[in-house]
Structure 1
Amino acid sequence: MAFGISKSQLKKWKNKIDSGEIAIITHFWIDERFPNCNSVTKVGCHNIEKLVNWGTIYGLKEEWIHHRKDGYSHFDLLGDKQAEVLLNEGHIEELNKFCHKRIRE
């Protein structure tokens, strides 16, 4: 179950994906398969090759992409990898809010 993001944030994420950009969004999330995680970061792009190339920077494998028929294919990032990506991509506000890390902007 996802929560903690607005419709406008989701729309902005989808618009970036539609325009061929790498788009990052983080939200609170509960899934019994991952009891130690309370948020997920989704990194998507309409151009799958671009998404794969971006993912290799962080050691992400192509087969980890959640391929969606609606065009919003993405990586789901949890835990330490989530924090690493948010920090390196400059998403400090989300890192502080969702990952319980305190980093100054």
Structure 2
Amino acid sequence: MLAISLPPTKRYGCTMSFTSTLYLCPILDLLLANIPDELQPEIRLGLQEALVNAAKHGNKLDTTKSIFVKFSITQEGYSWVISDQGKGFSPQCNCLDHTVETLPPEESENGRG
């Protein structure tokens, strides 16, 4: 399910929600519809990573949970706020105070960096 609402404002903005999925092509196409072509590849990659994280790590691919995206265009630029219905987490430490640790195999294959 995909829901989009367009509130009346001076700036352009919309809110979108959809069930947890990794099939993101049509969703990304909608989110990038008003973005200049030359900016789309890099923004698409960042949005895809954020949406995959919300579906996979936040909602644990539970199709009864939703992902929410608030998008706006202002004179200052573009903005996307992505949230999920996961339980969240509390950081256990300040990463700058600790040495780098090797991630467990199930975590080390995720992400792009």
Higher relative contact order (CA 8 A, sep 6+): 2
Tell me if both proteins adopt one fold, taking TM over 0.5 as the criterion: no
TM-score by length of 2: 0.24
Q: Which has the larger radius of gyration?
A: 2
TM-score by length of 1: 0.25
Higher strand share: 2
